[in-house]
Amino acid sequence: MSKQVGPLLQRAPYRYELPETYKKGMRVPGILWVNEAAARLIAEDQSLDQLANVACLPGIVGASHGMPDIHAGYGFPIGGVAAFRTDSGVISPGGVGYDINCGVRLMKTSITVEDVRPHIEELTRRLQRDVPSGLASEGELSLSAADLRDVMVQGAQWAVDRGMGELQDLEFCEDRGAMQAADPNAVSERAVKRGRNQLGTLGSGNHFLEVCYVDSVYDDGLAEAFGLRYHTVCVMVHSGSRGFGHQICTDYVSIMLKAMTKHGIHVPDRQLACAPFDSDEGQKYYSAMACAANFAWANRQVLAHLVRGVMSGLFPGIKVSTVYDVAHNIARVEKHVVEGRPLELIVHRKGATKALGPGNSLLPGAYSRYGQPILVPGDMGRYSYVLAGTVKAQEETFGSTCHGAGRLLSREAAKKSVDGSMLKATLRDKGIFVLGTSNASLAEEAPEAYKDVSEVVSVMVDAGLARKVARLVPIGVVKG
């Protein structure tokens, strides 16, 4: 029997439906993957209206999905997943976001937390010194226009070919670190100008480098397959396409607003500006978005190279290898079965992670039997998780799951309620050495500004959309 929570109907454990009758124009229901406590909070939240608005877009199939880390974003909610037919549906920059291919790379090392803890302050300081961070940060790679065009097309391969990484890194990147749809001709000169000096930079906001270690293993077989052993030190890199991707989104939101009039599209929120996927505007945005995604993969590849340099300088002989690299903000053409029929869809994931199950042909050979590694950062005061994808996720959510803890407080609210210098001292007392560009930037990313990621992960696991592999605890953090 269904349970009513505000406008939501509980259809199964952790699955709440927002019926099409909630808002005029909804073409499909909304589905929230949450526990009851979260459902009650979200029933009063702006993200619920955003979930409904997405369900109004032309060509949407199945449902508009919200992951348990859902919160309000630009147009689409963050933690939102939606798929549209490629022949009659739309593509929307708001469904990807401004930080195109904001994502995470997890690297494992050959040393343990016992080896690192005595040196964590020095290690963290060296990482902050050698990895440019902050809003206007620029890297040492000042690219020519021709170089940047190559980065747009080649992605992470561009960096590896120049000695910044290993071929194995590419094997353990989604799409091997490059989308084939990229076309530099779809990118504006302004975006090119913003991107030329930003390759190899961390950025600001919630971007970070984190030195952490495996403190819990939940599935011995999966952990062994991913190379995650108890007390092994890992490094997590969280960054995206920087100002390059931001400008591409800005450019195409403007283009899409005009295109909607041309194509006779009406949306409940201008932030959902879109165009038919098969239109000239839709195809150009997809090609430009792919350029930004490839830039982001190249960026994380360069950042990984810089991290390796710091680690090997402090720990001679150390091995640092990639576990996986995942995109959080992206749209891809994928094939899925909907109501028994195989369809080609353009799947938007905004603050959501692809979650492929065992046997999927897109997985690297090493992970084919186990499912895709899913990287779920928490906050700098608690823990993060590594999960594995499931076949059920492919069937229920277009192969998608959560991407992080999800914010509870806005950045402004966090700065008003948290003292950055006191936070730094508190974390240090807990054995976590944190460096940021300012105390204000640390306050924005305080642990209390985020949901407890363990609750978010529990929903995904209990709903069958992911399997729990390991937990990572931070000991050193560099915030952008």
* pTM greater than 0.85: yes
* Measured distance CA(212)–CA(217) in Å, rounded: 14
Looking at residue 45, the DSSP 8-state letter turns out to be S
pLDDT of amino acid 204: 84
Which amino acid, residue 95?
Answer: G
Domain ranges for the chain, please list them: 3-90, 103-326+353-408+450-479
**Tokens describing residue 312:** 């090997």
The pLDDT score that the predictor gives to residue 135 is 63
Helix (H) or strand (E) holding 228: none
| Element of type H or E holding 302 | helix 280-314
- Please say whether the beta carbons of 153 and 178 come within 8 A: yes
pLDDT at 467: 98
Q: Tens place of pLDDT for every residue, the chain, 480 residues?
A: 478 989 999 999 999 999 999 999 999 999 999 999 999 988 888 999 999 999 999 999 999 999 999 999 999 999 999 999 999 999 999 999 999 999 999 999 999 999 999 999 999 999 999 998 766 666 677 789 999 999 999 999 999 999 999 999 999 999 999 999 999 999 999 999 999 999 999 998 889 999 999 999 999 999 999 999 999 999 999 999 999 999 999 999 999 999 999 999 999 999 999 999 999 999 999 999 999 999 999 999 999 999 999 999 999 999 999 999 999 999 999 999 999 999 999 999 999 999 999 999 999 999 999 999 999 999 999 999 999 999 999 999 999 999 998 888 888 888 888 888 999 999 999 999 999 888 888 988 888 989 899 999 999 999 999 999 999 999 999 998
Q: Name the region of 101 (left: φ>0; alpha: ψ -120 to 50; beta: rest).
A: left
Active site residue 403: yes
Which string of b and e fits 229-247 if b means at least 16 CB within 10 Å?
Answer: eeebbbbbbbbbbbbbbbb
For the record, the structure tokens of 180 come out as 């084939």
Q: Which residues contact 365 (CB under 8 A, 6 or more apart)?
A: none
Please provide the CATH number assigned to the domain covering 103-326+353-408+450-479. Answer: 3.90.1860.10
Angle, nearest 10°, between helix axes 280-314 and 120-130? Answer: 140
Q: Residues 6 or more apart from 216 whose CB is under 8 A from it?
A: 470, 471
Q: Which of 267, 283, 227 has its CA nearest to residue 470? A: 227
Query: If you search the block for the tokens 């001292």, which residue do you land on?
Result: 425
Q: Where does 245-319 show beta strands of DSSP type E?
A: 275-276
Q: Hey, is 276 helix, strand or coil?
A: strand
- pLDDT recorded at residue 441: 85
Rounded CA-CA distance 229/61 in Å is 41
Question: Looking at residue 134, what is its pLDDT?
Answer: 65
Nearest of 403, 405, 401, 355 to residue 380 by alpha carbon: 405
**CB-based burial of residue 24 (10 Å sphere; 0-12 exposed, 13-18 middle, 19+ buried)?**
exposed
Number of H helices and E strands in the chain, helices first, is 16, 20
Can you give the pLDDT at residue 216?
A: 97
